[in-house]
């Protein structure tokens, strides 16, 4: 696959049988690279407001940002500072800082009782940036709506009913992450890498906007290409859990974030990782198991697979794999 295709989510939802089939075909062909661009209906005003508030937060002094640190949550909510998260295949921490949030479930919810470390009380900088909680909640819900709708295309593409992923993503541990990549002239080293190459752990990831180029996708032949979506399109990429469920039919999208040597200044992006509930059993679907593609993965609970990756990427506070 030499390019990332652009598809129309609304054509799948509202189009004729022929139009729906064309969208499914385009998505599945593009996801050979693990990436696809899609139309969306998240409002530009919400994106502008969200990015403006996040830039205000990341511009605060470090001691103010650290007030939003949530110890013991392993980066699943609150602030994570520079040179902490580390790609699983690297020993060099990423040059980025992050603010993480998701939706809470009610106290006593079965998921909260069974997986308390998966559903912590959310930590956001409301005192430092008044109004940010309500805006970030709306952003989270709007992007998750797109992701759940987009998963219906993939479900059809792998031979399942389009509702296949619906139930497993209700009250899942979907995480939204705002990322600030500071200017490279402040970074240790001189390789211009903001974030090392990696694949995401989840089902799919959505990126509605970034303030500068830098995201690169690794193709089958090992070359790297810039991911530059059309105006008003959203980037979708696939994760390890989807690769597992599809028996490798849909591979994980490997990517990195690299600053152009001529780029001056920082970069902001907000990504959302769409997760199933942690008690979901990741088991290859029968439609993806054939004589030519025998079953590659044993069943595993999604929560256990997530724990494994959180350790590998250096987010377990009392068991850092790499020191900053």
CB 50 within 8 A of CB 139: yes
Neighbours of 281 (CB within 10 A): 11
Q: Would you list the DSSP string of 157-201?
A: HTTS-TTTTTGGGTT---EEEEEEE--GGGSSSSS-EEEEEE--S
In terms of CATH, what superfamily is 9-312?
B-lactam Antibiotic, Isopenicillin N Synthase; Chain (2.60.120.330)
pLDDT recorded at residue 263:
79
Backbone angles phi, psi at 308, to 5 degrees: -60, -45
CA nearest to 96, candidates 242, 219, 198: 198
pLDDT recorded at residue 188:
74
Can you give the residue ranges of every domain in the chain?
Answer: 9-312
Please list the residues that pair with 36 across neighbouring strands: 236
Q: pLDDT tens digits for the chain (324 residues)?
A: 568 999 999 999 999 999 999 999 999 999 999 999 999 999 999 999 999 999 999 999 999 999 999 998 888 999 999 999 888 888 889 999 999 999 999 999 999 999 998 999 999 999 999 999 999 999 999 999 999 999 999 999 999 999 999 999 999 999 999 999 999 887 777 678 899 999 999 999 999 999 999 999 998 888 999 999 999 999 999 999 999 999 999 999 999 999 988 878 999 999 999 999 999 999 999 999 999 999 999 999 999 999 998 898 887 877 777 775
pLDDT recorded at residue 197:
93
* 8-state DSSP, 291: S
User: What pTM did the predictor assign?
Assistant: 0.94
């Amino acid at each position: 696959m030499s390019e990332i295709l652009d598809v129309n989510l609304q054509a799948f939802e509202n189009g004729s049988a022929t139009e729906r089939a064309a969208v499914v075909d385009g998505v599945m062909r593009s996801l050979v690279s693990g990436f696809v661009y899609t139309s969306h209906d998240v409002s530009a005003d919400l994106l502008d407001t969200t990015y403006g508030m996040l830039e205000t937060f990341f511009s605060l002094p470090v001691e103010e940002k650290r007030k939003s640190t949530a110890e013991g949550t392993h980066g699943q909510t609150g602030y994570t500072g520079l040179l902490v998260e580390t790609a699983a295949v690297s020993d060099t921490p990423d040059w980025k800082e992050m603010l993480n949030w998701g939706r809470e479930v009610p106290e006593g919810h079965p998921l909260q009782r069974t997986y308390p470390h998966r559903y912590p009380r959310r930590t956001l900088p409301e005192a430092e940036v008044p109004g940010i909680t309500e805006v970030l909640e709306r952003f989270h819900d709007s992007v998750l709506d797109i992701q759940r709708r987009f998963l219906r295309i993939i479900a059809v593409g792998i031979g399942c009913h389009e509702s296949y992923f619906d139930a497993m993503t209700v009250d899942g541990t979907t995480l939204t992450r705002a990322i600030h990549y500071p200017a490279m002239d402040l970074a240790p080293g001189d390789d211009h890498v903001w974030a090392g190459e990696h694949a995401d752990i989840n089902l799919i990831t959505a990126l509605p906007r970034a303030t500068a180029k830098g995201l690169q996708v690794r193709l089958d032949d090992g070359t790297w290409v810039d991911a530059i979506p059309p105006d008003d399109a959203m980037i979708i990429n696939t994760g390890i859990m989807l690769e597992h469920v599809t028996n490798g039919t849909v591979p994980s999208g490997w990517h990195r974030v690299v600053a152009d040597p001529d780029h001056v200044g920082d970069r902001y992006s907000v990504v959302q990782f769409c997760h199933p509930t942690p008690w979901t059993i990741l088991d290859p679907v029968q439609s993806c198991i054939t004589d030519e593609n025998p079953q590659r993965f044993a069943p595993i609970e999604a929560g256990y697979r997530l724990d494994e990756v959180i350790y590998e990427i250096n987010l377990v506070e009392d068991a850092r794999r790499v020191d900053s």
